Amino acid sequence: MILEPSIDKLQSKIYSKYTLVTLSARRARQIQETNIHYAENSKASTYVGVALEEIAQEKLQMDEDIESEK
């Protein structure tokens, strides 16, 4: 179960839950394939958790132009 980062903290970075899920899933696949991540002091035990930590630490962001096209 993922307790950190909280959904409230994540939604302050990326407002759409759909975008948050899509972005974290894509990034989790990249981390799994390359084993490279940018989260500092990662506590997550899953790839999705690491991706969510990257979003919370603002290491991973969504391009505003792409998000507004949806």
The pLDDT tens digits of the residues spanning 19-66 come to: 999 999 999 999 999 999 999 998 899 999 999 999 999 998 777 655
Judge whether 1 lies within some domain. no
The answer as to whether 2 is a domain residue is: no
Cis peptide before 5 (omega within 30 of 0): yes
50 CB-near residues (< 8 Å, 6+ apart): 28, 31, 37, 39, 42, 44
Rg, Å, the chain Cα set? 11
Provide the pLDDT for residue 66.
Answer: 53
Evaluate whether residue 25 is within a structural domain.
Answer: yes
What total of structural domains would you count in the chain?
1
What's the pLDDT at 4?
Answer: 76
Look up the domain containing 28 and give its range.
7-68
Tell me, yes or no, whether 43 lies in a domain. yes
In a domain, 41, yes or no: yes
